[in-house]
Amino acid sequence: MENKLLSKNLVIGLIILFVGASIVSGINNDVESVDVINKIGTLNIGTDTFYPIDDTFIDKPDGTNLPRGDYEYMIIQNEYGATPGWQIDSLITFDISSVPSDSIILSAELKLYYHQWYANNPAGRQLNLYKITSDWDEETATWNNQPSYASQPTTSSPVPSSTGTWMEWDVTEDIKDFVSGQETNYGWKVTDENYWGTFDIPQTFFRTKESSYVPYLEIEVLVPHMAFLFGRIENLNTEGDLTTFDAVRLRYLQFSPFSFNTYVSGEEIAVIGSGLGIITTGFAFGFFNSGLL
């Protein structure tokens, strides 16, 4: 009898929750996102670090046309010295197949260790990063058989003012495309396209996976779980499938792994997609795909 009564009360409670949310959504003009879905889960944030499976440099003026995949360094050099034909580029790629295709990518950074320069100091020179669009590997890649790459750079970054530091490129948009399957992941080409036009072209040296300063790719992702939210919020912002807000006084019950917290100090919360409940400009209530940022 007690089990039947408990089940009945649970059903009634869910009905009230759903109907109440529907009524509030109908009378509250500030509602930004109210939906019912079959899948209920929340998101936890994690940072994954990946190391290259291939990295090398390709040398245009090298008459021997040899692969450089076993070197402990990569070189970047501009095409134009006193005469053209001096370009040296670097190639790098990572296996990120372990990142779930439904993950939300918050950020992604490629990091190379800048350890020395030659001929002239390259400090401040912008190095462009191009998405590679065909297959390659470090054991065979040379200037003459190099892979194809995008017509426009993904991003650029200035060479640091001193050696012995990590240089970073923001590759968030490329990683989103790779993880979702919109693009095939062949990695990136790094190049110096700042015209030099005289002798002693600056050469920028980075360490490779064969060295003690291994390049790495850092990806921050949201991973699905399950939670119930109830309380006051502010700074509601929705962009695509991702909604963020700050907790004013928010009860946050996560089911797996289990935790229960009350956030009152402006903790930033993320919600992806839709859920069973309501989110307004000042209030959240129901089951949502959510997690702390």
Q: What is the arithmetic mean of pLDDT over 38-43?
A: 37
Question: What single DSSP character describes residue 164?
Answer: S
Do 131 and 204 fall within a single domain? Answer: yes
Domain count, the chain: 2
Cα–Cα distance, 53 to 46 (Å, whole number): 22
- Last residue within a domain, chosen from 221, 255, 273: 221
For 232, phi and psi rounded to 5 degrees? Answer: -85, 145
Residue among 159, 132, 148 at smallest CA distance from 78:
159
Residue among 217, 188, 220 at smallest CA distance from 112:
217
pLDDT tens readout for residues 186-239: 999 999 999 999 999 999 999 999 999 999 999 998 765 678 999 999 999 988
Do 169 and 61 fall within a single domain? Answer: yes
Do 60 and 174 fall within a single domain? Answer: yes
186: part of which helix (H) or strand (E)? none
Residue 248 has pLDDT above 80, yes or no: yes
Do 230 and 108 fall within a single domain? Answer: no
Cα–Cα distance, 79 to 60 (Å, whole number): 9
pLDDT tens readout for residues 119-155: 999 999 999 999 999 999 999 999 999 999 999 999 9
25/255: higher pLDDT = 255
**76 near 191, Cβ under 8 Å?**
yes
Task: Report the pLDDT value the prediction gives residue 226, as an integer from 0 to 100.
Answer: 74
Q: What average pLDDT does the structure give for the chain?
A: 85
Q: What is the arithmetic mean of pLDDT over 62-68?
A: 91
Do 81 and 97 fall within a single domain? Answer: yes
Do 237 and 177 fall within a single domain? Answer: no
Task: Report the pLDDT value the prediction gives residue 46, as an integer from 0 to 100.
Answer: 79
Cα–Cα distance, 125 to 192 (Å, whole number): 8
Do 28 and 58 fall within a single domain? Answer: no
Q: Peptide bond preceding 257: is omega within 30 degrees of 0, i.e. cis? A: yes
Task: Report the pLDDT value the prediction gives residue 271, as an integer from 0 to 100.
Answer: 85
Range of the domain at 237: 2-41+226-292
Do 82 and 174 fall within a single domain? Answer: yes
Task: Report the pLDDT value the prediction gives residue 116, as an integer from 0 to 100.
Answer: 98
Do 99 and 241 fall within a single domain? Answer: no
Question: What SS3 state is found at 5?
Answer: helix
- What is the identity of the amino acid at 265? S
Structure confidence at residue 266 as a pLDDT band (50, 70, 90): confident
**CATH at residue 142:** 2.60.120
| C-alpha to C-alpha distances, 207 to 71, 113, 114, nearest whole angstrom | 9, 6, 7
Do 54 and 108 fall within a single domain? Answer: yes
Residue among 149, 143, 140 at smallest CA distance from 188:
149
pTM: 0.73
Q: What is the arithmetic mean of pLDDT over 239-266?
A: 87
- Last residue within a domain, chosen from 221, 254, 271: 221
pLDDT tens readout for residues 68-100: 999 999 999 999 999 999 999 999 999 999 998
Q: What is the arithmetic mean of pLDDT over 173-197?
A: 97
Task: Report the pLDDT value the prediction gives residue 14, as an integer from 0 to 100.
Answer: 41
- Last residue within a domain, chosen from 174, 197, 221: 221
Do 64 and 37 fall within a single domain? Answer: no
Please enumerate in sequence order all residues whose Cβ is within 8 A of that of 47, keeping only pairs 6 or more positions apart, or say none. Answer: 218, 219, 220, 221
Do 32 and 102 fall within a single domain? Answer: no
**163 near 114, Cβ under 8 Å?**
yes
